[in-house]
Chain A
Amino acid sequence: MATRALDLAASGTLAGPAPRRSTLALFLRKNPLGAVGGLLMGLLIVTAVLAEVLATHNPIRTSTQVLAAPGADHWLGTDNLGRDLYSRVVHGSRISIVVGLAATLLGAGLGGLIGLLSGYAGGKTDLVAQRLMDIMQALPILVLALVMAAALGPSLTNTIVAISVVIVPRAARVVRSSVLAIREFVYVEAARALGVRHARVALRHILPNTFGPFIVLVTAQLGGAILTEATLSFLGLGIPEPYPSWGRMLSIAAAEYAEKAPWLVIYPGLAISLAVFGTNLLGDALRDTLDPRLRGS
C-alpha cells in the first residue's frame, strides 16, 4: 500500500506532496509578489542579525575621508563626517526592524486587548473605548506621532512608544469587529452555558479566532511603522545621533550635500523603500491568503 502510494506520487498521479509543503508551494505560485516580499523581509532580517559581520567599518566612527565617493574602500562612499555609508546602512536595518516590530507588536497587542474588551463587554465599556479610539484617530498618524515623540523626547524607546500609540486605535477597531461577529457564534454560547467564566471565554475561545485579521493588520502596519520611524527621525524627533537610523541619515546633512554627494540621499532612502516594499508585498499576500474578504483592497 505504502509503496503503491509512493509510486503514484512519483508518477505524478497522486494529488501532490505532503499538505504543508503544498500549502507553501501554492502560496508561492499564487503570490509571486508575496514571495518577493518574503525574500526582501528575509534579507532585512539577515542584514540586521549579521550587521556586525556584514559591515566593513564602524558605523559611528568618523574619519578624515569626508564625502568620499563610492569605491573599493567605502562601497557606498562616506558622509560629511567621514563615516562609512555602507556600514551605516547595514546597521540602520537594526533600528528599522527593531523599532518597526516593537512598535507594531506593542501597539497591536494593546489595541487588540482594548478591542477584545470593548467588543466582548459591549455597552458602556464599548462606548467609552470607541470614543477614545475616535479621539486618537482624529489626528493624522504623523501628527499624533510627532506630538507623542516631542512629549516623550527623542530616544529609541520613546520612538517605539510614540509609533505604537498610533497603531492602538487601528488594532482595536480590527479586533473589535471580529470579536463582535465571533461573540454571536453558538460555540461561545455553549461555553457560557457550560459555566465557563467570561475572562476564559474571551481569552481562550474568542481571542484565538481573531488571529487571522490580526496577523494581516500587523503586517500591514509594520511597513507604516518603519516609514513613520524614518519620517520622525528625518524631522529630528525620532532616533537621536549617533544611532545610524535611515531616516536620520536623510535629514539636514544629506540635503545639504546632495549635489556633491548624491549617494548620501540615494542609498538610505533606497534601503527604507525596499524594506517597506517587502513588508507591503508580504502583507498583501498574507491578506489574500488569510482574509479573502479584504482581497486586493
Chain B
Amino acid sequence: MRVYVAKRLAIAVVTLLGMSMLIFVLMRLAPGNITDIIFESAGYVDEADRRRLAAELGIDRPIPVQYGRWLAEFLSGDLGKSYRYDLPAWEVIKPRLPVTVELAVLALGFSILFGVPTGVISAIRRGRPVDYALRVVSLAGLSMPSFWLAMVVILLLVRSLGLIPSMTYVSPFENLGANLFQFMLPALAVGYRSSALIMRITRSAMLEVLREDYIRTAWAKGQRETLVVWRHALKNASLPVITLIGIEFAFLIGGLIVTETVFNLPGVARYLVDAIQVRDYPIVQNLAMLIAVVTVLANLTVDLLYTWLDPRIKYGKA
C-alpha cells in the first residue's frame, strides 16, 4: 500500500511537471505579451522602452531559460509577481480563493444532495414515467450552458419578482445570510450540471447492484424496501459515484469560470480568464498549477478511498 501511494505520488509529480511545461510554452506562444498590451493601451510604442520592460520582466529570454527560472523560483516557494498589479502572485490569488472554494463546495454539495437520491429513484423505477422524467431533467442539465442558465435565472428573477440579485460581493464574515443568498443561484447554476452526471452514474451503478444475489436474498428475507435500497444497494453502488464526484470536483472549475463571470463574483476562476487575456504569465501559470494540483489530488484521494469502501480492492499486490 505504501509503495503504491509513493508510486502514485511520483506519477503525480511527473504529470504536474509536464503540465507546467505545457502551460508555460503555450502561454508564451500566444500572440502578444504584456508589454504589447500595455504599450498598445498607452497608444504609442517606443521600441526601446518596450524592450527595457520586457528585459525587466525577463520575458525577452529564450523560453527554456524562462521556464528554468520559473521552476527554480516555484520550488523555493516564490510564485513570482503579477505583471498587472506588480504584487506577489500569491497576494493577488489569495483573497479570491475563498469565493471560488465556497462556490465549488456549495455547488458540489447541491449536486450530491440532488443527484444521488434522484439517481436511486430513477434506478428503482426503471422504465417508468418517473425514470424517463428524471433522465430528461438530468440530460437537460448536461445540455444547457451554465452561463446561459445563470443568465436566464437572473432574468426571471428580475422580470417576474422584480428582484435584482446583488452584484457586489458580500463576505460571509460580514453577513452570512446575504452571502449565502448571493451564492445560492450561482451554486445551483453550476451544480445542476454536476448533479446530472452524478444522477446518471448513480442510476447505472444502482441498476448493476440491484441485480446481485445478495439483494435478492435481502428481498427474500422480507426486508423493507428502504433498507434494501438505501443501505444494502446504495453502499455498494457508491464506488463509481465517488469516482465521479472526485473527478467532478476538479471539473466544476469550468462551470465556475463562466458562472463567476455572469454573477460578477470576484473568484479565482474568472480571474484566470482575465489573466489569460492580458498575458499575466505568473498568474496564469500559478492558477493552472493550483487547478492541476487539485485535480490530481482529487483523483488520488478517490483511489485511496476505494480500499476503504471496498476492502476487496488492494493496491500494490497485483
Q: Are A258 and B257 in contact (CB under 8 A)?
A: no
Q: Which of B186-221 contact A (CB under 8 A)?
A: 200-201, 203-205, 207
A297 within 8 A of B: yes
Q: Which residues of A contact B136 (CB under 8 A)?
A: 33
Residues of B within 8 A of A259 (CB): 155, 158-159
Flag whether B180 is at the interface (Cβ < 8 A).
no
Name the A residues within 8 Å of B240 (CB-CB): 297
The 0/1 profile, CB within 8 Å of B marked 1, for residues 271-297 of chain A is 011101100110010000000001111
Interface string of A201-212 (1 = CB under 8 A from B): 000000000000
Interface size class of A (residues with CB under 8 A): 35 or more
In the complex, are the beta carbons of B135 and A33 less than 8 A apart? Answer: yes
- Cα–Cα distance between A181 and B200 once the two chains are bound (Å): 26
B104 → chain A, closest Cβ, in Å? 12
Residue in B140, B152, B276, B296 whose beta carbon sits within 8 Å of that of A150 in the complex? B276
Q: Which B residues touch A237, using CB under 8 A?
A: 273, 276-277
A235 touches B273 (CB 8 A): yes
Query: Complex: how many Å from CA A147 to CA B29?
Result: 10
Task: Confirm or deny: B71 has a beta carbon within 8 angstroms of a beta carbon on chain A.
Answer: no
Interface segment, B12-20, B52-60, B94-102, B302-310? B12-20
Give every chain B residue within 8 A of A152 (Cβ-Cβ): 30
B26 contacts A by Cβ under 8 Å:
yes
> Contacting chain A: which of B35-43, B79-87, B143-151, B171-179?
B143-151
Pairs A-B, 8 closest by C-beta atoms = A142-B254, A269-B148, A296-B204, A135-B18, A277-B143, A276-B143, A297-B204, A151-B26
Check B295 against A138 for contact (C-beta < 8 Å): yes
Chain B interface: which size bin?
Answer: 35 or more
Check A273/B148 contact, CB under 8 A, given A131-B15, A140-B251: yes
A105 interfacial by beta-carbon distance below 8 Å: no
Across the interface, A272 reaches (CB within 8 A) one of B22, B30, B145, B277, namely B145
Instruction: Return chain A residues, CB-CB under 8 Å to B261.
Output: 235
* Contact (Cβ within 8 A) B277 A280: no
Known: A150-B30, A150-B277, A269-B152. A277 touches B140 (CB 8 A): yes
Q: Are A146 and B272 in contact (CB under 8 A)?
A: yes
Known: A33-B136, A153-B31, A296-B204. A146 touches B16 (CB 8 A): no
